[in-house]
Structure 1
């Protein structure tokens, strides 16, 4: 199911009650509010085993927090890979803007789509046969719609298939400037987005406004957002394709990688088919735009000498039973739904005996730099909760120590680290909490590509966490005392 759009204003108190009515089979659930910093409310981040216990079947939990950022984002389940089955939706938070536009078209969600449920895909992904570890998506969607070539359906796939299911449509006005809020809410695939006959002017990446720049296309890893302004053609009356294209391996793997929607001015009709653009000016297919291009509108300088620098290595390897899993610094994550890390830290327990919890305690360090090294050809969209980090360097091979535009590096909460490459990020440790840092490919984080950044635990101990959080744990404990929870993956 695609859940409803949430729309707020900067500074609003957001209250959302989530009722777990999942059946056949019953599962826990939670909702994460992607990109929101959750300052002074880390227990509302919505990550089971980290900031809360799962919401037990039949139970409810009310999330309450401040809209502390503005722009475009999304919310989604963070229980296993549950959101890949459709538990997600867009968020728009209105705030100050320097951008000039006339019409807000609203969120445009680009996603991959699977005919199998997420548990079946996870079971296939955790395999000792390397050739089947990456399960391909079936289709690509724009706002939940796209046609599909039913001849591509796998033998034995009983999912109903209609070749002319229809596509999403958006109306433009000639000569007017339109704001489109693109969100990659998929499970795995990188998406390249363009509009035939129109240029895109980028005004924000994630929740960070940028100095506007014009481009033919944008590239979005899972979890990333880009806001653009598109000027309507003067005196236009026709229709044009809005395209979202998922590239081939190692960036992604989708059986039908191309999705279309229709931009129309007066009469809604199918445009004449043109070849898919090749984007031959792309610096690298499996990467975001060059850091030199994306300049934050409001500058923050890179720390000259951060309090701590930490190397983080991503690898793919087989465990003791032969299954391929993802590792961060030689640990593959597995959460404990019954003992959330944040709640333990609040009680003064910051020594985690189980190495699978993969907690890095940064204590009272005032600033943190991470050098992320990816020893695998697959690109990873790396998302950090609780922060917009400075993206200081991205490239192939190993980091040479040079920071791109140190007086004002790109900032965002999700950035692609290239295959066989590196990403260097830094942030000020001004938000005490237990913050997940993970790949946003659903099947990768489910296979352990995750670590917890424990930030200022002495301050975490001073938090007065609402009693509803403990009540949710008691409900979950009661449920698990009578029901065996089959945790087939990392839990996230």
Structure 2
């Protein structure tokens, strides 16, 4: 349980349009306070975080989601339009106020359509108990596939049944790009991120996959990692040479600086090429690099180190085995949960184009009617396209999630919880739980691609219903959630009705309803 520090940290954010060129190629992007990535939110465990968000976008709403924070008692501040709030209307403001109830590394991002794929995102660091020894905290290292088209164009490609291909891969918002490969305005050698190491020291790296689609394979030439946390959950340390991160996942890792003085090495984030990796890239620049310079090294000279990433590692579209990722603080999930639900992920035609379904329905939200507010008003009958799974007052929920699609993994994210990951595999789950007394817990887990048309992949997750709210459970690939790969988990509706909603919830909806009375939102996707 988080302490109560009595302290509130305050931030003031403006979301706006801006031409940006993080890799030298100019595109129409979205920024927070004029920057991509946006400013870092920093707090201590138990602080309150207050963020005033201004929507400076002229023709669309926005919202910000604070990924992985549980929002216990504040489900309306989770930042998901059509679920916990109405969008923030153009020219309007919403003040979010929530507790830093977890500690570690995460990020915030717009949850309105695929705005975050256009740049509306930034890192969050919440300081807490030190769970391992290191000498220096290098801070967030954000890994992001990158697209030279604006986000709305890419959503339109998605909704026409197409597949957007990423054009580059960024580390902390920076990369170079071969300008001969684009007809857009392009500045060569835009610059890469740089880090300083000192021989013998141990460094904490806070890795975050902020991509729209890509599974990142993170390495440092000639160095290994000790993994100490996945998402917000500390784990028993283990050593590896490559970190696999699906969209939305984080890993805190420690690197021992084993290089000599004056040496330099590449840090790499690899997406692979289409068909020879786990991500949909155009093949021009699927590897992002940053430079690490040891004491005395010439920082104007690029490293000459070589990658040790193998083809087998690059093409393994799954997280590290559950047997290796054991929580530091054991929590034993209920052997017999109160309710179990099987959920099939299917890619099929809606009669016009191919979209994503979870248990026969493809999600489409109503910005003017947030599910949480409907529950508060005791409206518990929902359109099928809202994909609401009402788990009532059950004490615990188990979900067996089957991916029937053979060409993509899905990073499955649940809001409001760190869930237990009981099992993963192919075919039909046999009921065996990995590490039954101390399962891995996190808020995003990859379900692998299906082996073939008759052999789905699966993950089995479980959580206690200890946080009344309406919690999104969705694939974190931006194009997949745009295409409907999403359900709402309705948790303890009777207790939601007992909560006192702050006036900002109704005020934001009032402003949005006024704006939409004379403006029609161009909602071509699910809305999220």
Common fold by TM > 0.5: yes
Deviation at 1:303, TM superposition (A): 1.3
Contact 1:140–1:254 (8 Å) recurs in 2: no
CA distance in 1, matches of 2:374, 2:476: 25
Q: CA deviation at 1:405?
A: 0.6
Alignment of 1:258 with 2:258, yes or no, is no
Q: Name which of structure 1's ranges 249-258 and 139-148 shifts more when overlaid on structure 2.
A: 249-258
Q: 2:396 aligns with which of 360, 367, 375?
A: 367
In the TM superposition, residue 282 of structure 1 has moved relative to its aligned partner by 3.6
2:436 aligned to which of 406, 411, 430: 406
The CA distance in 2 between the partners of 1:482 and 1:141, in whole Å, is: 39
Separation of aligned partners in 2, 1:370 and 1:248: 32
Q: Given the two structures, how large is their TM-score scaled by the length of structure 2?
A: 0.89
- On the 8 A contact 1:75/1:90 being kept in 2, the answer is yes
Mapped to 2, the partners of 1:253 and 1:147 lie a distance apart of 19
TM-superposed deviation, 1:235: 4.6
User: How far 1:284 sits from its partner (Å)?
Assistant: 6.1
Structure 2 contact 51–97 (Cα < 8 Å) conserved: yes
- Count matched residues: 480
Contact 2:291 2:303 in 1 (8 A): no
**Cα displacement string for residues 389-425 of structure 1 (whole angstroms, at most 9, x for unaligned residues):** 0001111222121111101011100000001100000
2:129 and 2:356 map into 1 onto residues whose CA distance is 40
* Deviation string, structure 1 residues 327-349 (Cα, Å, up to 9, x no partner): 00010000000000001101111
Residue in structure 1 matching 2:134, options 73, 97, 101: 101
Q: 1:101-143: per-residue Cα shift (whole Å, max 9, x none)?
A: 1100000000000111111111111225xxxx21100000000
User: Any stretches of 5+ residues in structure 2 without a counterpart?
Assistant: 1-30, 451-456
Residue in structure 1 matched with residue 54 of structure 2 by the alignment: 19
Query: Hey, what does 2:169 align to over in structure 1?
Result: 140
Superimposed CA distance per residue, residues 12-52 of structure 1 (whole angstroms, 9 cap, x where no aligned partner):
000000000013xx210000000000000000000000000
4+ aligned runs moved over 3 Å, structure 1:
269-276, 280-284
When normalised by structure 1's length, the TM-score is 0.95
Write the deviation string for residues 303-337 of structure 1: whole angstroms up to 9, x where unpaired.
1100001000000011122x110000010000000
Q: How many angstroms does 1:280 deviate by?
A: 5.3
Match of 2:330 among 285, 299, 302: 299
* Shift in Å, 1:271: 4.2
Show the counterpart of 1:465.
501
Question: Compared with structure 1, are the counterparts of its residues 191 and 467 closer, same or farther at alpha carbon in structure 2 (3 Å cutoff)?
Answer: same
Tell me, in whole angstroms, the C-alpha distance in 1 between the residues paired with 2:221 and 2:372: 47
C-alpha distance in 2 between matches for 1:248 and 1:366: 44
Identify the residue that residue 218 of structure 1 maps to in structure 2.
243
| CA distance in structure 2 between the partners assigned to 1:371 and 1:283 by the alignment | 27
Using the TM superposition, name which of 301-310 and 243-252 deviates more: 243-252
* Equivalent residue, structure 2, for 1:330: 360
| 8 Å CA contact 2:226, 2:238 repeated in 1 | yes
SS at match of 2:316: coil
2:71 pairs with one of 38, 53, 57: 38
- CA–CA separation in structure 1 for the residues paired with 2:309 and 2:221: 12
Shift in Å, 1:463: 0.6
- Equivalent residue for 2:3? none
Segments of 5+ residues of structure 1 without an aligned counterpart are none
1:279 aligns with 2:279: no
2-structure distance, mates of 1:280, 1:484: 48
Aligned partner of 2:199 in structure 1 is 174
Contact residue 83 and residue 470 of structure 2 kept, 8 A: yes
Separation in 2, partners of 1:342, 1:259: 40
Specify the SS of the correspondent of 1:84: helix
Tell me how far apart the structure 1 counterparts of residues 433 and 446 of structure 2 sit (CA, whole Å): 17
| RMSD, aligned α-carbons | 1.3
Q: State the partner residue of 2:343.
A: 312
2:120 equivalent to 1:120? no
SS of 2:273 mapped into structure 1: coil
